[in-house]
Each structure stands twice: as structure tokens, then as C-alpha cells.
A and B are shown apart, each in its own frame.
Chain A
Amino acid sequence: MRYLPKSPSERQEMLAAIGTRSVEELFKSIPEKFRLRAPLDLPGPLSEAEIIQYFQARAAENARGYVSFLGAGVYQHLRSVAADALIQRGEFLTSYTPYQAEFAQGTLTAIFEFQTLMCQITGQEVANASMYDGSTALTEAVLMAERLTGRRHVLVARSVHPEYRQVLTTYAKNLGLEIEEIGYTASGQLDRAALKPETLARTAAVVVQSPNFFGILEELPALAEVAHGSGALLVTAITEAVSLGIVRPPAEADIVAMEGQAFGIPPSYGGPYVGVIATREKFVRQMPGRLAGQTTDAAGNRGFVLTLATREQHIRREKATSNICTNEALYALAATIHLCLIGKEGLREQALQNLAKARFAQAELEKIPGVRRVFGGPTFNEFSLEFPRSVKMINAELLKEKIIGPFALGTQYPELTKRAVICVTETAPRAEIERFAVAVRRILERPV
């Protein structure tokens, strides 16, 4: 087998050195009756060429060659060849968590840069070395708010990504957290009138997403004021991180839970991505996840170590701030490299392109009779439209033209049937946007 570096005679030599006759003897502590007698029922073994064939065949069964207008938490953005090449360097790809700092300064330095970039982008003071993804980062942010306030009530906007809310519900169920959902107004923003002072007074966190699931920007400074007035924290989820190239950062939030996939990480059917938690310096000891910090050696050389580990499970066990151990380091590195490449001007230009393309697409679609904007609030690269016929039918027809249509809201929001969230990023050429609009028009013009 090509991955195993021993010859049969070397195996025999090693067995002889140990003083055993057969390898079977090395397994004698496993009770006889539990030892497998027959080979496992598994496909393979496959050569490298056969493995590639298998996966190429699977790729051909997917949406290769389709154009997509799906966002809903995962975004198609430009990626650079350089970033992908760098994360494939074995020294990054095949190294472990940097517990042995002297032999892992590469990873530690990159984490420190990641933490810095995440602070700059979110307007927060500290950011950790990564969480699994945006959904689990949001849940951990809420648990953190509970620890900080000692309160168990949580107000969550219904305009937060439905799957993020589902993850929060799963975790909250056994921890005695009460989750109360808050509706939205005609603008598509959180209904501030529904935030009652008597409820806020026992609330750990008000949880919003911006841009929210409908694509609308939330008024974070005003929400922070309301929350803080009653001793509650403002937790803000960000699923479309590229928005922060032009959108005001969530600096007033107490904890930001962000999905970093938009920073040069491929959609990859749901993961791996990179979650981020950023917060105020004074809250750092209640933060989950790893942190890299700057220090020096005896000679005064600058170096980086994992620090404040007394928050973590390998030291604190059941008293830890979280059970997280493995995080998404390689994709934090990918995001770091991507952001260094695209840089200050590039990130802004990319965000402006998203805004312009989305506005163009929206205008094209709104020309179609019966197609209307749903909400009045400001949007970035996603917007919600109402259609005169079922979105499911429209999407089924679009698929025949190799177009993956928008996210239909009806399943998650029964009151929003015939509405969908359309996402247009810088990767959609004008011609494809026009083809999409023409196709929608044609589908809607067909007799019922």
C-alpha cells in the first residue's frame, strides 16, 4: 500500500525486536471474540487514478456549469490562486495545533494576523483564532453573553439565518436558556417596538444579523442603545463578511459572531468555513476558543504563543468556557492570506461591485410585471423580492436553463410565500444577470 513505508522484511525485523512472532499477538488485549476474522466490507482499495475517477464522476452529478443566485449564508466570491497555493504548503497543511510554540511560529504568527484583521473588519477590540463556522460562533456568543450577564433570557431576531437559530435552539434546550423570537417590520429590520423594557431587564442578549437573512442592514447603534439601557448585550451575527468592505462595522455590538467564508473560501457544499468571535477587551476571559498572544523569549525576540488557555477545556475541563478544541485554523489562514492579497482598496472595491451588481439585478427584475421588492430597508448584495407565482415553480424552470434560482423564503417563513432572497456578487457577469432576468420574465409570462 502506497501510504505505508515498510517492507515485509522490515515488519518482521521490528516484530523480532519486540520479541513477538506475529502481529496478531500485539492485539491480544482485545478479547478474542471481538477480533474480526474476516476483512471489512469496504469498497477499494483504489489507486490514485481510480480515486480521481470516482470523484470526477461525482462532480459531474452536481451543478457544474450552472450560474447561481443563492446566498443565504454562503457566497460565491473571487478567490486567488496564490492563497490556495499557500495553504497547501505542507508546513501549514500538515502541522498540528501550535501548542509547541517554538516549532510553530509560522501558524502562531498567522493566527495573530488573523485576529488583527478580524478586529479591524468588525470594529471590535479582540478576536479569537476561529470557531467552527458562523452558526456555532453565534451560539457560543450567546452562551458567552449568558455568562457575562448572569441572565438566561435571549431575544433573537427572526431575521437571523434560520439554520443559525436552529443551532442555537439545539444548544439552548438543555442549558435553561429561554429563546424568544422578535419579528420584523415593513423595512425588514428588527421590530424595536417588540423589545419591552420589562423583558429586556432580564435579557442576556439581543441577537440580530446584519445584513440579515432578508439582506437588510440593521440599525445597530440604536439597538445597542436599547439593549445597553437595560443591561443586556447586543450580539451581532454577520454571514456576508464582504459587506464590511463598505458597511459600517458592528462596533457598538458587544459580541460579533461572523462567518468568514466570504473571504476567499469556496462554498464546498457547506464547509469547512471559518467562524469568528470578536468582542470587547474586557470580555476576553469569557471568550471561547484559542487565542494567540505576543510575547518574547529570554533574548528579547518577539514571538507568539497560545494564551489565556485557562478558559479552555484541556485545562479547565467541565468549567471551561466551551468544549471547542479543534477549530478551523487552515481556513482562518486562507482568509488571512486572501485579505492580505485583496487589501485595503481591493476589499472596498469588491464590496462596491457587489452593491452595484445587486442593484443592477434588482432593477432588472423589478421591471418584470408583478415582481416587487418586499422590504424597504437598505441592502448590500442580497435583496428580497415578491413574485406573482410560486418560487418553487420558478426555480424548477430556471434549473432547466442551468440557473440556480434564489432562496425561497416560504419554508422557513410561512408568511413569506412567493418571496425569495436573491444574491448577486462580483462573480456574476452582467450578461448572466440579464439572462436570469429574461428567464424569470419568460417563466412568469407563460400561461398558468
Chain B
Amino acid sequence: MNPKITDLETPIKNVGKARAHVSQNEGLIFEQSAPGKRGMELPPLDVPAVDPAKALGSEFTRAAIEGFPEVSEIEVIRHFTRLSTWNYAIDLGMYPLGSCTMKYNPRVNEFVARLDGLACEHPEQPAEVSQGCLRILHDLQKCLLSITGMDAATLQPAAGAQGELTGLLMIRAYLESQGNPRHKVLIPDSAHGTNPASVVIAGYEVQNIKSNSRGQIDTDHLREFVTDDVAALMLTNPSTLGVFEERIAEIAAILHERGALLYMDGANMNALAGVTRPGDFGVDVMHLNLHKTFSTPHGGGGPGAGPVLTKKILEPFLPVPVIVQKPDGTYALDHNRAKSVGRVRAFAGNFGVLLRALAYTLAYGSGIRQATEDAVLNANYIRKNLEPYFDLPYNLPSMHEVVFSDARQKAKGVNTMDIAKRLIDYGFHPYTTAFPLIVPGAMMIEPTESESKQECDLFIDAMRSIAAEADATPDLVKTAPHSTRVGRLDEVAAARKPILRWKPA
């Protein structure tokens, strides 16, 4: 079943993972609208009708919204079903985006999130009729603390980047309580873009530090940078190269000696859960991305949740409210915390995401270690099988992901984006391109534990085949994808004259 290059010289025919099939054409919903159609009816009004112009005054009312859709239920079902078939998804196969941890999203999690008694609870309803919600949150906190080895948690941040900001605000509040909030936060050049952006919103200056030739923090170099004006180092561990910081304990010690704190970006926690705990290797505060390690669906860009876990010293500064268990065993939200950094989001956080993460954790229990082992096994298996074909810029032990570069294929003018686009023709979503920034032409591959050996083998075959094409027929790769509804889209035109909404013709 291995694809042959000859099969692929024309738009895709039949390779190991995929073959072409018909895709439905579909316009925008607005283009199907006609007066008088509707897709949802309301029960009849059972109280006297009110004239809005009389009730509110005509200066406060509007006419029906011009251009708003008028379509039937079946048209809506077909429209969005057709659109959905234009997407790739975890449910269709491996989604090897490095750093994104696209793993299986268990269906039971969707089921329980929709239970009557969970989906319809109002965040302001009294605690005595919210004990179930509060217990879910409390149970999740306990699980996350156990997995990370930390002491205290907030579940309020809506996503990883907001978790970063929350952690930094807590660091700031802690240092302020010590007399000096300091000015700088150190960030390695391999970090996610959210790290520096969050630092700025927390009112700090970014100090970029270079990775050494091994893609790791150079501890001698670090010592020079850690002054009394440094509040923290934000470190992703394993790094965005998928490599564990071997000198992590020394890094923590260097910071702690000067009164600075160690922030860990937990984006790559999928490499560690059940194997090691950040709380044991010197981390003071960290966030988790529940839409990565804890399997909540990415949904085409969100929602996420970015819980923050801290050591005892930062606990007084947690955002309000904090979930507490009272001596009588009941749960409550504690708003009365004098040293809190305040609120980062309305209400108690993305509850629906949090409960899915708990369902995931309960499914594994301590067996979560097996998931971590399989994730690392898959990454190393793919690495071993692709090493002869692609350049490996940092030859270090890989954990959950491996970063190659396009250095060899560049000789024929084929870059990481071309290879990524060609993967689409083979039925795979591309890996992460051009990140981390320390690797020119990066190809960042994270299979996760959700892939079988067979799926990994198909991916390896596809990548090898593309490597051969890059050599023999580079133009075929450079013009990919050939099998999608649309070819490469003109992004320059999109940005130069932005069309950001539909307008009636």
C-alpha cells in the first residue's frame, strides 16, 4: 500500500492513507437567504404582547436586521455539514501539529458536559444548589495538583495565554509584597509567542535569552542575566524542541538565589504526566493547557482552559474566587482574599472545559503514565524512521515531539511549508511549520499517544515519499496541495485589501 511517486505526479490518486473523493460545493449562508424562511420556531407568547416603540421609545428600537439570514432547518444542516467536510480533524487521523497536542477527544466527555444539571447551571446561583459544580472543580484541582506536584490552583483562566498572565500577575504581587516587583522577565528564544505578549500585559519588560548550541538554557549565560531586577524566568519544559531541560534544578537554584521565580509553561505537559512532577524540580508557578494534555476538544481554535498551579508562597495571590471545602464537607467560592491579584475573567472559568478535563483524568487515573509513555514512544519511533531523510538540527533525546528542518530539501528549493502542504495530499494534516524560531525551516512533529503503530507507519511512508518527491519532482511539492477544494490561497491579497465580512451584492 505504500504510495509510489508515480501515483502522485498528477493530483492525488490513491496513497496509503487517502484518496480523492467528491466534495460538495456550498456558498455562504447569506447567499441562500430568502424572505419568509426560518429554521427555528418559538412557542407562542403566553403573555400580552408589547409594542417596542411604545415600551422603549422609538429612539431605542431598530427595524429587522438588513441582510440577516432567512433559511430553513435543512438548509442550515446541509450548509454546516458541507462546510465541516472541508476540514481535517483528529477524528479523521493523525494531526501531528507540534506543541498543539492534538489527541483524541473522548466522546463521553461531550455527553457528560451536556447533562441536565450541569449544562444549564447559572454561575450566580446560590452555592447550596451548586454543590455538584463546585465539587467537580474541586476534584479537578486535586487531580491537577497531584499530577504537577504543586500546592494551590486556580481554574479561572480561559486559556493558556491567560494562565501565563495570571501566573505573572501572581509573581508580581508576591514580589511586591516582598518590597520590589522588579522589572524584567527572562524568556528563551525558543518560547511560544504568548510568553512575551503576556509579560508585557503583566507590566514587565521582556529580556530574551539565547539558547545554547544544544537548544537548552546555558546556565552560565543565565547567571549573568539573573539580577536583582529579574522577577522570573518563563521556561517551557520540555522545550519547544521536545527536549527536557536537563539542568532544570540548577536553573531553579540560580533564580531562587537571587529571589526570582521559575514559571513553567505547561504546554508540553503531555511529555511529563505520571513520569515527573514540575513541583519536584523547582517550578514555582505554571499553567496547563487543558485543550492539549487533558484532551478537551480544540473546536477549530477554542475554547481552552489554562489553570494555574503554584507553590504555597503564591497561594495568597490567587485570583478570586477560590474554591474551598468547608469543615462540614460542603464547597463554596471564597471571594474574600485580601492579597488576591483580582479577577481575570467573569464567573468561575470555562466550567464546561474543566469538567471534560476531569472526565479525561478519571478515565486514566494513575494510568495516565501509559499515555505519556505512548506519546514519547510514538515521537521517537517517527524520529528514528525519518532521521535518514530529514535534517535533525538538535540531536538530543526527544520526548513527545521531534523537530526536523527542511535543510536538505532546501537544496531543491523545497521548504517546510511546501512539505507541509504536500502532506495534505497524503491525507495528513501538516505538522507545525517554522516554529520554534531557533530552527530555520522547522518541521515540528507531535503525534501524541492517540496514534496506532499503523497510523505512524502511514505518516512515515508519506514523509519519505515526499522527501523523494522533493528530490525528483520538486515542483510537485512546491505547488501542493493538489487535492483540496482550493489551492494555496493568496494571503498577501487578503491582508492588503481585507475583506472581513460578507456584504450584499
Contact = CB atoms under 8 A, between A and B. Distances in A.
B77 interface: yes
B275 A120 contact: no
Interface string A43-77: 11110101110111111111110101010111010
Given A35-B275, A267-B120, A292-B500, A344 B193 contact: no
Contacts of B498: 284, 291, 293, 307-308
Contacts of B30: 113, 116
A259 B351 CA distance: 16
A218 B481 CA distance: 52
B301 A343 contact: no
B384 A95 contact: no
A246 B500 contact: no
Given A29-B244, A269-B348, A404-B122, A325 B88 contact: no
Interface residues of A, number: 198
B397 to A, nearest CB: 4
Nearest to B364: A45
B86 A109 contact: yes
Contacts of A91: 84-89, 91-92
Interface stretch (A150-158, A294-302, A365-373): A294-302
A105 B122 contact: no
Interface string B94-114: 010100101011101011111
Contact of A324 (B60, B104, B159, B384): B159
A342 B70 CA distance: 8
B302 to A, nearest CB: 4
Nearest to B82: A106
A180 interface: no
Nearest to B164: A323
B374 A26 contact: no
Nearest to A68: B122
Contacts of B351: 268-272
A39 B370 CA distance: 11
Contact of B301 (A107, A115, A163, A170): A107
Given A116-B502, A305-B489, A130 B300 contact: no
Interface string A240-275: 000010111100000000000000001111111000
Contacts of A315: 193
Interface stretch (A11-19, A196-204, A228-236, A436-444): A11-19
A109 B197 contact: no
B298 interface: yes
B40 A174 contact: no
B70 to A, nearest CB: 5
Interface string A140-168: 00000000000000000000010110110
Contact of A217 (B60, B102, B203): B60
A1 B103 CA distance: 15
Contact of B303 (A14, A55, A116, A328): A328
A333 B343 CA distance: 27
A330 B489 contact: no
B124 A70 contact: yes
Nearest to A359: B50
Which 7 interchain pairs have the tightest Cβ spacing?
A: A330-B299, A59-B117, A174-B203, A44-B365, A90-B91, A270-B347, A329-B301
30 contacts: A34-B276, A36-B277, A41-B366, A42-B365, A55-B136, A59-B118, A63-B121, A87-B299, A90-B92, A94-B89, A95-B95, A100-B430, A102-B485, A120-B67, A246-B62, A247-B56, A269-B123, A269-B130, A272-B352, A295-B494, A297-B486, A297-B490, A298-B487, A320-B197, A323-B197, A325-B159, A333-B299, A333-B300, A343-B40, A346-B40
